[in-house]
Structure 1
Amino acid sequence: SLAMTKLYKPLLDHIGLTYPQYLVMLVLWEQDGVTVSELGERLFLDSGTLTPLLKRLEAQGHIARLRDVQDERRVRITLTSQGRALRDQAEAIPPCVLQSSQCSIAELTALTTELKQLRDRLSERR
């Protein structure tokens, strides 16, 4: 994890995000308007970790946190126009990481699959 963070840091500094913030943005670029709890489930983060990340992203103008109109207990996270525009700048990051890793797409895909399986097995044991 530390090695990946070091790999991403100079790339993310360029767009003003930390690695955890980048992960949040990746989820939102894929599916805008998720609830805080859905986001936490997707990233395997609890609300104590997620809330400060979201506050910083909101302060930077990338997201808005809005109460769900149908259930005010839920908070939905939506991208601002600035947050959507940031995606264009971030598109160069995955190819740079792939090149730096010196792995093929097939190798990274296999590794990702194995890590997800391990995570799922460990989650079942709780």
Structure 2
Amino acid sequence: MNLRKSCALAAGSIFLASAGIAVTTTPAVATPAPAGQTVVSADPWPPKPSRAFRQGFRDGRKDGWREARDECLNPKRALTKMKGLWEDPESAYMRGYEEGWERGYAEGYKEFCY
């Protein structure tokens, strides 16, 4: 037996031995849950956002996009801006505005800063 064949045999046996050890020592990860404990939602889709949320999302996306554009095109002026305070941060409009602002800012940043 030449050196090349013996090295290939040794490497193959080491690989198989390590795979066997890994298979015998790892716990079963994908065990099925008992039938009594399986929870299934009655409605798999999230509720449709309200009109106020959608309007807030649109406005926030537009403002975020504009702010990213302004920051990337004129960084000195952007440092002086502050985000305004809102009356009710829990309203649907405000939640939509915040989500839309983040998405619009990210899109504007990608467009103008890269």
Q: What TM-score do the two structures reach when normalised by structure 2?
A: 0.25
- Higher relative contact order at CA 8 Å, sep ≥6: structure 1 or structure 2? 2
- More strand per residue: 1
Q: Which has the larger radius of gyration?
A: 2
Q: What TM-score do the two structures reach when normalised by structure 1?
A: 0.23
